[in-house]
Copies of this chain bind each other. A is one copy, B any other.
């Protein structure tokens, strides 16, 4: 069962979505096709399990570190999150990255929710630890932008076969984006 999900990632990485058949998965996992259906009702459920696995990894990576993250300056915080995120995605020959770049295909409904909630939570905690930030308006909207913009920009950059910008520049850019925004908003306020 663990092996099947594992095999799913491997096959996806090797053969892409279309090329990933139940046969392949079964073969890689070292079981017969019929056995897949002992654990999963259909192929979709295998992908679901893979999805949950990735989501859980991301959450586990950040969640326990929220207390320390909350104490950091904005730009280093952004950088820290992005680098960690990249490392996770590139682990095992980009296994998770491959999955992610197809994710919406499998999970039509918003199944990145747990990650979203966790990051929103981080944002709220962060603001509470930096009292001057409470003057920022419309936190939900800014959170939505930063979280989604950040995640997709990184995925898109990592999947780009010929990136025109370096990842480091991307990280610095995103950090500045957030940093300047906060500084700008605070400077404007009364």
A94 at the interface (CB under 8 A from B): no
Q: Answer whether residue A67 sits at the interface, using C-beta atoms and an 8 A cutoff.
A: no
Enumerate chain B residues within 8 angstroms of A145, measured Cβ to Cβ: 149, 153, 170, 173-174, 177
- Beta-carbon nearest neighbor of A104 in chain B: B105
Write out the residue numbers on chain B whose beta carbons fall within 8 Å of the beta carbon of A45.
none
Chain B: CB-nearest residue to A164: B140
Minimum C-beta distance from A51 to chain B (A): 13
CA gap between A179 and B169 in the complex, in Å: 19
Q: How far is the CB of A65 from chain B (nearest CB, A)?
A: 24
- A174: which B residues are within 8 A, CB to CB? 145
Q: Which of A91-150 contact B (CB under 8 A)?
A: 101-106, 108-110, 138, 140-142, 144-145, 148-150
Contact residues of A between 148 and 163, Cβ < 8 Å to B: 148-150, 152-153, 156-157, 159-161
Distance in Å from the Cβ of A148 to the closest Cβ of chain B? 5
CA distance A141 to B160 in the complex (A): 14
Are B105 and A141 touching (Cβ within 8 A)? no
Please name the residue on chain B nearest to A162 by beta carbon.
B110
Q: Are B105 and A173 in contact (CB under 8 A)?
A: no
List 9 other contacts, CB 8 Å, given A102-B104, A180-B181: A17-B105, A103-B105, A110-B160, A141-B170, A145-B173, A145-B174, A148-B152, A149-B149, A177-B181
Interface pairs (23), CB distance under 8 Å: A16-B108, A17-B105, A102-B104, A102-B106, A104-B104, A104-B105, A109-B161, A138-B169, A138-B173, A141-B170, A141-B172, A142-B173, A144-B153, A145-B153, A145-B173, A148-B149, A148-B156, A148-B157, A149-B149, A176-B184, A176-B185, A180-B181, A180-B185
